A = this chain, B = another copy of it.
Amino acid sequence: MIRFNNDYNRTGHPAVLAALAATMEESYEGYGIDPCCERATELIKAHLNCPEAQVHYVIGGTQANYIGISFLLRPWEGVLCADTGHINVHETGAPEHVGHKCLTMPNTNGKISAEQIKEQLDIFEIGGIQEHVVVPKMVYLSQPTEVGTVYSLAELEAISAVCKENGLYLFIDGARMGYGLAAEGADFTLADIARVADMFYIGGTKCGALFGEAVVITNPAVQSNYRNAMKQNGAMLAKGWLLGAQFAALFTDNLYFKITESAIAKALRIRDAFTAIGVEQFVESPTNQQFFILSDDQMAALETDFTFMFDHIIEPNRNMCRFCTSWASTDEEIDALCAAIAQLPC
């Protein structure tokens, strides 16, 4: 069985494991105060063009998201996001668990726009009953989105401008940031992300690490006490150097970017194989997640040798499915899948 079900079904890139192994002979202060974290932060900050940025390491994306939300907001404030936003649909209500409402907007290919945000703010302002409704104070978006699409720099700049004009924080979920940066046609850099966002994270778990996300706080006005929030929410790893060592490995010799570039190249081969036989794309994705609409027979044919994610039934015999590549995907695996696709019933 060859796995394309997600990009976190393997332990981690060998260089990352090697970096962990290399820490075996040393002893460290715990809780993220150590040379490994320092080194990782230095390497990451070299990409940010934001000397005042703080970098913190948490264990997973749900932590990065919900702690960020509760860290930035007061109790009556909420977070504007796409209806498909990860925080809205796949985190068991973590934002609400810590007290904050997701103020959803309809997505277009997984994305929201500056115009939509302005509209929500207008509704809020016109309402004249601001004390009776949740105050929109933060925008959450994922780059790339949950369906693999990528915001252009112009889109990000426009959203950022609306946020700054209206006193909203911009938080970018970068669980797959590496795939966004390496996407076909991507026109933004980490420095751009650092400039447009108040807070974001660079995902490790889905980009070659065993686990871990690097949370970056660029806005100096909200840099106090994030470590308190981490500890209170169980997100401060006792042996914090394990996170630092992994991110230092990923950001040495551009490994992070090589991993995601390579995975995307392979994903686009899958895309081409599907489109070659006329299978309908659910959404045009330039990243490592490819979404296609398969018939029941097509699904059955592929399920014998490959894992992939069945998402939902659009209508009978039209099934939305995801194929995902990662650092671990090999050319041989892609060859095998493409060959199987070429044989699919139409």
Contact = CB atoms under 8 A, between A and B. Distances in A.
Interface residues of A, number: 78
Interface centre among A58, A74, A95 (most CB of B within 10 A): A74
Interface stretch (A23-31, A296-304, A338-346): A23-31
Nearest to A76: B228
Contact of A234 (B63, B93, B133): B63
Contacts of A102: 101
B132 A91 contact: yes
A134 B92 contact: yes
A318 interface: no
A10 interface: yes
A215 interface: no
As for how many copies of this chain the complex holds, the number is 4
Given A30-B9, A205-B239, A238-B211, A233 B94 contact: yes
Interface string A44-58: 000000000000001
A322 interface: no
A27 to B, nearest CB: 4
Contact of A74 (B60, B225, B233, B237): B225
Interface in A66-117: 66-67, 70-71, 74-76, 78, 89-102
